Structure formats: structure tokens, C-alpha cells
Structure 1
């Protein structure tokens, strides 16, 4: 056999540079398409929450007494149609016990708020259906993501059903508003959808390979803490919905006391006792305040734990949560001390959106830390 030189080339065939893993190569570009679609849904839900809040604050939610999914998209177009809608409203307790003598112009004002709220809900449903079917037809949904986005669709559909369940509670008997616990369920559903979509958007902002690599550096303790913060924030949002549902924020406008005492007078006067948790304005506002203190204390604790994270990009998220919590608490105090004017109430509600979004981001960051340099 002939001897071969040490530096002799053993092959001259050129190899193509690697272009990425199999996971990230499947349906390339599909993550971006789904992300843009979910961003639109996120923006629409972000919009409908304050619109729903204004619908409640203007006592407009019971102005439309029927649920017609298709024909309800067309508002009254003639005086006869307006009179027909007004006549239906005159038959419910809110008009008979509270708004008797209302003028047509006043009815039109509350009608347009509720109609706009329902139309925005329909738009959200339509954006989901068209987007999902289009992405499915173009094979633009990444592997494993079809069940995830379907959960969003189920949630949107459920919100429509819960919305009518909520409205129907105020159409009979002696109710002047919708049932507060149904309002809380409806608002809670919107915040749950917003949080879920936020999590999906954070995941879609990075490749599957990056997420798999990042998970090896996950911080389980911070994940648990962030989960606790999400739960407490969500519970506080539900309590806020109960406050809004019975206008509890417009009474007991002193702080830190309530009517001069730590607890409000007549805190357990309703029978049976459990009704006080939903219908007694002093009791509902008291627990909203107490849960706010608990949540703030938990956020301070999370801040001191989170700032010691080895990953500075993770630690900074907990700084943001604490800063927003301070703003939100001040907003809450100012709102109640001014008897909850609509502009402060809506601003306080928007603060809740920002706070829960930050807690969701904190949990995602703890589970999938962003890369940082060794020097950092």
C-alpha cells in the first residue's frame, strides 16, 4: 500500500452549513404567523375589558334584553325599531324600580354602550374563527400548537355564553343590576384568556430549541413564587369585580379605616351570612382591601427573592412587578377616596391588566430564562 501524506485531503465534497434543528425547521415561519394572530386577539381582549367596565359603570348592561347572535349585529334603524327595544327594556326591573321615566335619548346612550360591547365580542370570535381556519388551511400552525390555540377558541365561546348568563340574571325578579358573582365570572374569564395568550406570545417569541435549552436553567423556586402571585392577583381581580358589581367602591371612602373603624358597620347583617360576601358593600370592599394588602406583601417578598436570581434579566421582572404594585395600590386608594369616578375606576382596572401580565411574564422568565453572557 502506498503511504499517505499526513495532510492529504481525505475528501473534497463540500458540506452545507447546518440550518437548524428539525423542530425549528418544521413549518418554518409558522410561529411568526400564529404570534401575529394572537397579538391581534390580545389587543382586542385588552380593549373589550375596559369597554365592559364602562358598560357596567354606565349601567348599560341590561339595555339589550335578548341575545341574538346574528340578527343582534344590526342596531335599531327606525323609530319603530327603537321604540320596540325601549319597550322591552321598560319590562325589566331595572327600568321599573330605578329608571322609570327615562327618556328615549337616555335609553339610546346605554343601548349603544351595550351594543358596542357585544359587537366587539363578536369581532373577537370572528377573528379567532377566520384566523384559525386560515392558518390551518395554510399549514401555518406549528406542531403541537393546534390544541393550545383551540383552548383560546373554547374560552372565547365560553365568554359569550357566560356574558348572556350574566345579563339574564338582571332581567327578572327585583334585580337592578346583573348578579355580582356572574359579573366576576365574566371578568375573570377575560383575564384568564388574556393571561393565557400572553404566555403563548412569550413562548412564540423564541424558537422551540431556545425554549428547550432555556428550561435546563429554570428556577423552580421563582416559578412557584410567580405562580402564587398569579393566583393572588387573579383572586384580587375577582374581588374587584364583586366591588364593581354592587358599586361597593362608592361607599366607605375613608382610608385606611372604613367609616371610622377597622371593619365597616353591619358587616354580617344579611341573612344567610354568605350573602354578605357578595351583596354587602362594606363586606365586599373590606375583603378587597385585605386581599390587596396580602397581595402587596407577597409581591414585596417575591421582589427580595427574585432580585437574587443569578439571571439579571429574570431579576428585573420582579422589580417591575413591585413598581406596578405600588402604582396599583395608590390608584386603588385614590379611586375609593374619590367614590370611584369612572376614569379612575377604568385606570385602576387597566393597572390590574398590567400587573397580571407582569406576573405571567415573571413565571415564564423563571421557567425559560433568557440567555446572558458569562460576564453578566
Structure 2
């Protein structure tokens, strides 16, 4: 095949003798690790029903937890005014010690979000001033910063949805938007890291493109992650504790009386069922992607296989355990790792395509 002019032009456009792509890659890997931890803590926050324990968003003063008994009583009073407390938590006789437990997880989740913002923004500013960012990557790096800010905004909008009317939980739509934005940010960080490491080896090489195959895999995985977020938001994991059957049936009884679209997006039995079985469609797509990159990036192939295999096992274990806190949290953590591995493999698939076009 004749060499295309386009790859050569792109190659020259990204050549920059002052760039420090390896240092940037290492920084982005640290940020990605922080995002994985935030996803884990966010899952624990949801599973412990801690998300509504802090009813305000104070960017500066919210960094510190209450420091004396009077401050704790004030925060507890704010929580007692929420629908969640009035309609649910008060029934069990929540104590101040109980409140401190759920407050910790929400506070820790928000603290990590602030910390990751600093860990991203400060080095970005330093790299920018030093002029070591490879050409063409400044808009992407700023875009990732904006995406992180947007994810934080979605988190607060999610919390607000659980503080109005008779809501005892946050909106599962807003929860999914909050979670999926975090996972998109993670994928973007991993993809950019792979670009940077490649530039470090081959100065001036163009960023990897998307392929049709990788977009298909991403779409299939997106549906599975969306279903998982809705299952979490609606507590639909408790719809059945047996597997592969659901309450002794292969296909659960579904009440369609509220209409097709409402049932599709709200019925916990249907969403639990779909999340279980769409997982196997996702497995097929991920195996396809892993096999596509096996020869040129064996590590990426191994990571994808390992991540989805562990995630399936943890998903089944979560059901059989009656949605054990730590089992469910590990399931969500593995979901984040699967997104990272998939982004890596998608990048490798793009590199393969780029190399074929250049031959």
C-alpha cells in the first residue's frame, strides 16, 4: 500500500523538541489512579446511603469536617430536615454516631474530588508555563479539566435531586450521569497517557485515531455501565439474590402497566435482568477487541480479559451475597479498571490502523 500523505503531515505537526511527554504521561497516570479511587469511594458512599448526609456544597469551608460537638449537631440538624431522614433513617432511630459514619463517606468523596482537581490543575499549569506540552494537546488537556469540573457539577445536581419533595434517594438518572462522566474522564486520561507514552518513544507521531470496531465496543460497554448505574441508583441489586435464575425464574415477572419507557428505565426487576444478560453481549464485544490487539499489544489484551472476567465473577458474587457492601464496591472498582483497560485496548487498535495506513 502506498504511504498516505496525511500521516506524514500529522507526524510533523506534533514534532516538538521541547515536549516532555513521558513526564506528562506519568502525571496523567497518577490522576487516573485518583479517579479510580474516587469511583470506589463513590460506590461505597452510595451503598452506605451516605450521599445525602451533607446538604450543602461549600467549596472552601467544606474541606474540613465539623470540629466540635456544636458543629456536628448543626450538620445533623440539617440532615434531619431531609426527606431521607424523615421517611427512612429516623425509623431506625439514627444516632449522632450513625450520622458521623455516613457523613464521613460523603465528606471523603468530596475531599477526593477537590484533591484530584488540584492534582490535575496545578501540574497542568506548570507544564503549560514551561512549554513542555506536545503540540496539539493543550485543547485536549483543558477539555479533560473541564470534564472533571462538569463531573463535580453533576455530582452536586445529583445530591440536590434527593433533597426535594418526598425523595429518599437521588435521581438514578443523575447518578448515572455523574458516574459515567467520571468513567469518561478516566478513559480520556488513559487514552491521552497512551498517546504521550507513544510520543515519548516516537517523537512527533500523531495521536491514535478511533476505529469503527472500538466505537462499537465502547457503545456496548456504555450500555452495560448505564444499566449498572441505574441498578445501583434504584437499589435493583436487591431484586433477586439467586443466579442465573431470578427468584426461581429465568425471566422475571415484569409489570408493564406504567408503559414501556417508564418500565424500561425504572423497573428494578427488568433493569436487574438486563444488566445480568447484557453483560454477556459486552463480554463478546470485549473479547473481540482484545483479540484484535493481541498480537501488537498483548498486555492490553490480557488486561481486558482479566478485568471483564473478574467483573463478571464479582457481579455474580454480589448477587449471591445479598449485595454485600464490599463485594458490590469491588464490582464497581473493577468496572472502573475495565474502562481503563478498554480505553488502552481501543487506543492500541487505533495505533494498528494508523500503522496499516502508513504502509
The TM-score normalised by the length of structure 2 is 0.87
* Distance in 2 between residues matched to 1:336 and 1:236, nearest whole Å: 16
Q: Which residue of 2 aligns with 1:279?
A: 266
| Structure 1: gaps of 5 or more residues | 1-20
Aligned pair 1:235/2:226, yes or no?
Answer: no
* Distance in 1 between residues matched to 2:129 and 2:169, nearest whole Å: 44
Taking structure 1 as reference, are residues 272 and 80 closer, same or farther at Cα in structure 2, changes over 3 Å only?
A: farther
Residues 143-200 of structure 1 deviation map (CA, whole Å, 9 limit, x = unaligned) = 2111010011101110111001000000011111111111111000010000000000
CA RMSD in angstroms, aligned pairs only: 2.7
Equivalent runs, 1:359-370 vs 2, <5 Å = 359-369=342-352
Aligned partner (choices 86, 89, 99) of residue 89 of structure 2: 99
Q: Which residue of 1 aligns with 2:17?
A: 26
Aligned partner (choices 108, 124, 128) of residue 116 of structure 1: 108
| Structure 2: gaps of 5 or more residues | 1-11
Residues 282-313 of structure 1 deviation map (CA, whole Å, 9 limit, x = unaligned) = 01101111211211233344456x2xx7x722
Q: Which residue of 2 aligns with 1:346?
A: 329
Taking structure 1 as reference, are residues 225 and 318 closer, same or farther at Cα in structure 2, changes over 3 Å only?
A: farther
Taking structure 1 as reference, are residues 327 and 146 closer, same or farther at Cα in structure 2, changes over 3 Å only?
A: same
Taking structure 1 as reference, are residues 289 and 73 closer, same or farther at Cα in structure 2, changes over 3 Å only?
A: same
Taking structure 1 as reference, are residues 211 and 356 closer, same or farther at Cα in structure 2, changes over 3 Å only?
A: farther
Aligned partner (choices 252, 258, 267) of residue 240 of structure 2: 252
Taking structure 1 as reference, are residues 198 and 179 closer, same or farther at Cα in structure 2, changes over 3 Å only?
A: same
User: How many positions carry a matched residue from both structures?
Assistant: 343
* Distance in 1 between residues matched to 2:80 and 2:27, nearest whole Å: 42
Q: Which residue of 1 aligns with 2:46?
A: 56
Residues 94-146 of structure 1 deviation map (CA, whole Å, 9 limit, x = unaligned) = 00010113100100111111111111111111222212222222222222111
Would the aligned equivalents of 1:211 and 1:368 in 2 still touch at CA under 8 Å?
Answer: no
SS of aligned partner of 2:296: helix
* Distance in 2 between residues matched to 1:169 and 1:213, nearest whole Å: 46
What is the Cα deviation at residue 87 of structure 1?
0.7
Higher relative contact order (CA 8 A, sep 6+): 2
Bigger helix fraction: 2
* Distance in 2 between residues matched to 1:320 and 1:211, nearest whole Å: 26
Q: Which residue of 2 aligns with 1:18?
A: none
Taking structure 1 as reference, are residues 124 and 209 closer, same or farther at Cα in structure 2, changes over 3 Å only?
A: closer
The TM-score normalised by the length of structure 1 is 0.83
Aligned partner (choices 268, 289, 309) of residue 326 of structure 1: 309
- Higher-Rg structure is 1
Taking structure 1 as reference, are residues 60 and 22 closer, same or farther at Cα in structure 2, changes over 3 Å only?
A: closer
Taking structure 1 as reference, are residues 315 and 34 closer, same or farther at Cα in structure 2, changes over 3 Å only?
A: closer
